[in-house]
Amino acid sequence: MNETGKLHGSGDMAADIEKIRGDIASLKDDLARLVKGLASNAKGEISEESRRLYAKLSEQSERSAKLLAREVEERPLATLLLAFGIGFIGGSLMRR
């Protein structure tokens, strides 16, 4: 009887091992789906944040361009002298 008990016991253990293997495989699949889901959510959040940032930068650059245009219209001589000065200094630095 002792040998029969060992054989039957080892059969139960083999079945338990197979069940554990199946559970591990299932867990592995679940984790893979979870990681994919998290990655796609993060990608969506990054995309949304980049759209918001682009819109904000676009709005700010438009305001800056309007301010610059208004400044040029209001003070053309000062703007021309400023541009000349910047060009002169830049040219002097480039020669060195």
Residue 10's pLDDT is: 66
pLDDT per residue as tens, the chain (96 positions): 444 445 455 678 778 888 888 888 888 888 888 888 877 777 777 788 888 888 888 888 888 888 888 888 888 898 889 889 999 999 999 887
Residue 85's pLDDT is: 92
Q: Domains in the chain: how many in total?
A: 1
The four Cα atoms 73, 74, 75, 76 give a dihedral, to 10 degrees, of 20
The four Cα atoms 7, 12, 18, 23 give a dihedral, to 10 degrees, of -170
Predicted model pTM: 0.42
Domain that holds residue 59: 2-95
Residue 21's pLDDT is: 87
CA distance 6 to 15: 14
Rama region for 66: left / alpha / beta (φ>0; ψ in -120 to 50; rest):
alpha
Residue 5's pLDDT is: 47
Residue 8's pLDDT is: 52
CA distance 89 to 91: 5
